[in-house]
Structure 1
Amino acid sequence: MRRLYSLAWWLGLPLVLGRLWWRGRKEPGYRAHWLERLGFPGAGQSGRPTLWVHAVSVGETRAAEPLVDALLAAYPDARILLTHMTPTGRATGRALFGHHGERIVQSYLPYDTGFMVARFLRHFAPRVCILMETEVWPNLVAGCAAAGVPVALVNARLSERSLRSGRKMGRLMTDAASAISLVAAQTEADAKRIGSLGAPVVTVTGSIKFDVVPPQSALQTGAWLRDQIKKRPVLLCASTREGEEALVLEAWQRVAGKPADALLAIVPRHPQRFDEVEKMVAARGLTVVRRSQLGQAVADGVQADVLLGDSMGEMFAYFAACDCAFIGGSLMPLGGQNLIEACALGKPVLVGLHTFNFAQATDEAVREGAALRVPDADALMAAAVRLLDDEVARAAMGAHALAFAGRHRGATLRTVERLRALIG
């Protein structure tokens, strides 16, 4: 099965590289460092022991922050090799960890062929491979086993939908799961699903995302944003996905009773869609100001209907500046996004029906009064207007959100303790 899988990779490689180049039209980062994806690392070797953490994109990289910081503190002679699959993930890693200098090395993960993985492993010789959340690649795991590199899947999650997909891959996935040395799962349900694929050692450590601390710089940026917005009530739609912005904008224009000076802030999940969303807002006759132009717009006296968040790595700042937040990816069957950051800042949270990627955290937040689930965009706007109009309700929900976030901290410490046996 794995040989057939590898053959499929080689046969499809021209199409994969063509798609990479095509995506580079809108996001030039896809055309940079492309040799790394073929197993030719740009980063140099080092005399330091190397601990490898793979965080595929933005969300996983931000979630890895407490773990990376804890590993740097626990192993002061080691360096962290941080790999990604997307340029936005790489940029996020650079923003979060660039101040560590030579102790952090970044690279793209090579495509999952035996040759590319083996070359990558020979170059870096990592002491451990730590995969964040869901990233299990059959040849990567097999290559690590052959090279004597233990593999850990941490902050692990697996939805029922992903479990069904994994089972369809048969032995390809079960062989990979059985070769993972340690799985540190977010929840009991995640642990049970991953264990059913054959992972031999599965433990529950909780979600590392609860341990992410809002950087002081992000809070300062949030205060600046709030100063520009002044006292206007703000609904933030965070990490929206394609198709959701249209639903949000139509419902925003239809909703009755919203404060006359209310501001809708939209932060698309993917930066290549910033221009598209700006045109979408303007086409509906609404005045849109981009976050990158906000200071000048305020100085010019422009009163925006919609603030477009066109920056990366500032989600904490946007949460700090809003009055209530909708978490995108949940109005459509896309699985939702992480609501923990909003809760950690004491913001009332609204989510749609589709949160299967963060099911337990979202369900608990709803049960504990930190979040409210809405069936559609119209219900979202009706709930948002009620919260914007009711300071007491907002404060109560925000207090529940803070308590919810605080109760679940500690996963990073538990994870590092379990990793020690693998790292040595």
Structure 2
Amino acid sequence: MKRGSSLLTSYRIGVSLLTPAASGLLLWRRGKGKEDPTRLGERRGHAGRARPDGPLAWLHGASIGETLAILPLVERLTRRGVSVLVTSGTRTSAQLVARRLPPGAIHQFVPLDVPLFIRRFLDHWQPDLALFAESELWPNFVHALDRRGVPLILVNGRLSERSFRRWMRAPKAAEALLSRFAFCLAQSPADAERLARLGAPRVAVAGNLKFDSPAPPADPRTVASLQALTAGRPIWMAASTHPGEEEIAIAVHRALAKRYPSLLTIVAPRHPDRGPEIAAMAQESGLAAARRADGMQPDRAIDLYVADTIGELGLFYRLSPVVFMGGSLVPHGGQNPIEPAKLGGAILHGPHVHNFTDVYAAIDRARGALPVNDARALAGALSELLSDPGRMRTMGRAGIGAVEALGGALERTIRAIDPFLVDLRGGASG
């Protein structure tokens, strides 16, 4: 028995005993709008689709960011003639993936980490290869794949210092878990070192797949329409905001409106279902607000526009020349700035960016981004940038260069997993 296996066995038994509670949890989440009621069976391991014939690779990403990062890998695998099952755990990720999956790929919601649900899932799909993205280390899934002899690879692997310290409280369990991975491909040398110290036997640095993801799409006609509607107005965007940051965006707008009376502020909350709350907050502060989800347009009468729809960040990044990245003025850890940087936006961010330390450091070094410590500093930076379009364009070009220089993870990942793909296709390399 592998070291730490007793802890994982205790976890597996404990979760099995809580299977009825897990079903109850799903029903509670459905009532809160956190689960798709038409696909709730998938979260219990019941398949919503037939398994395709031939070899099947299973790729899993927890939420939007992880799932979007693996889509280029999905496309490369399907081009090799491998059918791909993509799983994720959130409604928003499912909605985005449905629009972007290539032919030959299927999406399902991932089951909860409950042995009964996992057994149903694996009995139906029978994957020949499993690739988990970033930090998805679910013990029962890992155990079940190991028992069935399915090679498991961690791609775009990430392990923060905080998560590493938590795992170090149970190092034998961490080793027992990570030793079951055939390969761990880390985003950075620091991630690779932490994974190796926890017991991963084969670790390599491949880089961050998010740098190789294409810029988020947008319908050119919709872009042109909104650009015509907002022509001549100074615009800034607060993207992927968290509670506390919308109040800051409102205060910043009110401060800047004295100098820029036609200013348009776009707020895209990390969780779009908070749209009504944010619009009401803006109206209570005396701003004219409208919501995208209501079908409203950012016309001249609107001060603050809430972009509370799914899959339209590419549209608003194209509309706004300067973007504040949320999750960074509150202690969340920052949201990923790669997408707006790819589209040439000048980036502003707060001090709390530990979720993407290397990414922000690279864009900061290239002078494609500016750090701000509070609402007053954000207002000051925006005031200066909105009065200097040339500087915004220079920052945008620098950001593009920074993220392009950090690309290449997709090719390195493909090369690393190629031996597994050869085995998957019966020895015929694609």
**In 2 relative to 1, CA 215–264 (structure 1 residues): closer, same or farther, beyond 3 Å?**
closer
* Offset of residue 239 of structure 1: 0.6
**2:47 corresponds to:** 41
**In 2 relative to 1, CA 330–152 (structure 1 residues): closer, same or farther, beyond 3 Å?**
same
**In 2 relative to 1, CA 10–251 (structure 1 residues): closer, same or farther, beyond 3 Å?**
farther
**1:79 corresponds to:** 83
**1:412 corresponds to:** 410
Q: Distance in 2 between matches of 1:248 and 1:169?
A: 42
Matching residue's letter, 2:412: R
Q: Distance in 1 between matches of 2:54 and 2:416?
A: 22
**2:374 corresponds to:** 376
**2:333 corresponds to:** 335
**2:8 corresponds to:** 2
SS across alignment from 1:131: strand
Q: Distance in 1 between matches of 2:223 and 2:28?
A: 35
Q: Distance in 2 between matches of 1:168 and 1:272?
A: 36
* Offset of residue 360 of structure 1: 0.5
* Offset of residue 400 of structure 1: 0.6
* Offset of residue 314 of structure 1: 1.4
SS across alignment from 1:32: helix
Listed as ranges, the gaps of 5+ residues in structure 1 are: none
Q: Deviations over 1:80-111 (max 9, x none)?
A: 101111111111110111x62xx222211122
Is 2:68 the partner of 1:62?
A: yes
Q: Distance in 2 between matches of 1:369 and 1:166?
A: 36
Indicate if the aligned counterparts of 1:20 and 1:30 stay in contact, CA closer than 8 A.
Answer: no
Q: Percent identity?
A: 33
**1:354 corresponds to:** 352
Q: Deviations over 1:223-270 (max 9, x none)?
A: 332222222111111111122212322233245764221111000111
Q: Distance in 2 between matches of 1:381 and 1:296?
A: 25
**1:273 corresponds to:** 274
Which 10-residue stretch deviates more, 38-47 or 305-314? 38-47
**1:163 corresponds to:** 164
Q: Distance in 1 between matches of 2:419 and 2:347?
A: 39
2:301 counterpart (294, 300, 303): 303
1:90 counterpart (79, 94, 102): 94
User: Normalising by the residue count of structure 1, what TM-score does the alignment of the two structures yield?
Assistant: 0.92
Q: Distance in 2 between matches of 1:85 and 1:253?
A: 38
SS across alignment from 2:142: helix
**In 2 relative to 1, CA 279–83 (structure 1 residues): closer, same or farther, beyond 3 Å?**
same
Indicate if the aligned counterparts of 1:61 and 1:92 stay in contact, CA closer than 8 A.
Answer: no
Matched ranges for 1:18-417 at <5 A: 18-27=24-33, 29-73=35-79, 75-76=80-81, 78-97=82-101, 100=103, 103-214=104-215, 217-255=218-256, 258-293=259-294, 298=299, 303-417=301-415
Q: Deviations over 1:389-422 (max 9, x none)?
A: 1112112111111111211222111111111112
Q: Distance in 1 between matches of 2:192 and 2:176?
A: 17
SS across alignment from 2:315: helix
* Offset of residue 312 of structure 1: 0.6
Q: Distance in 2 between matches of 1:104 and 1:147?
A: 23
Indicate if the aligned counterparts of 1:186 and 1:204 stay in contact, CA closer than 8 A.
Answer: yes
User: Normalising by the residue count of structure 2, what TM-score does the alignment of the two structures yield?
Assistant: 0.91
The number of residues matched between the two structures is 416
Q: Distance in 1 between matches of 2:198 and 2:223?
A: 43
Which 10-residue stretch deviates more, 34-43 or 4-13? 4-13
**In 2 relative to 1, CA 389–13 (structure 1 residues): closer, same or farther, beyond 3 Å?**
farther
Q: Deviations over 1:280-310 (max 9, x none)?
A: 2122111111224566664xxx511101102
* Offset of residue 14 of structure 1: 4.5
SS across alignment from 2:168: helix
Indicate if the aligned counterparts of 1:228 and 1:294 stay in contact, CA closer than 8 A.
Answer: no
Indicate if the aligned counterparts of 2:363 and 2:369 stay in contact, CA closer than 8 A.
Answer: yes
* Offset of residue 153 of structure 1: 1.0
**In 2 relative to 1, CA 14–288 (structure 1 residues): closer, same or farther, beyond 3 Å?**
farther
Q: Distance in 2 between matches of 1:135 and 1:201?
A: 17
Indicate if the aligned counterparts of 1:222 and 1:319 stay in contact, CA closer than 8 A.
Answer: no
Matching residue's letter, 2:418: R
Listed as ranges, the gaps of 5+ residues in structure 2 are: 1-6, 423-430
Matching residue's letter, 1:408: L
Q: Distance in 2 between matches of 1:96 and 1:169?
A: 39
**In 2 relative to 1, CA 207–221 (structure 1 residues): closer, same or farther, beyond 3 Å?**
farther
Indicate if the aligned counterparts of 1:271 and 1:310 stay in contact, CA closer than 8 A.
Answer: yes
Indicate if the aligned counterparts of 2:78 and 2:105 stay in contact, CA closer than 8 A.
Answer: no
Q: CA RMSD in A?
A: 2.0
Indicate if the aligned counterparts of 1:37 and 1:108 stay in contact, CA closer than 8 A.
Answer: yes
Q: Distance in 2 between matches of 1:245 and 1:110?
A: 33
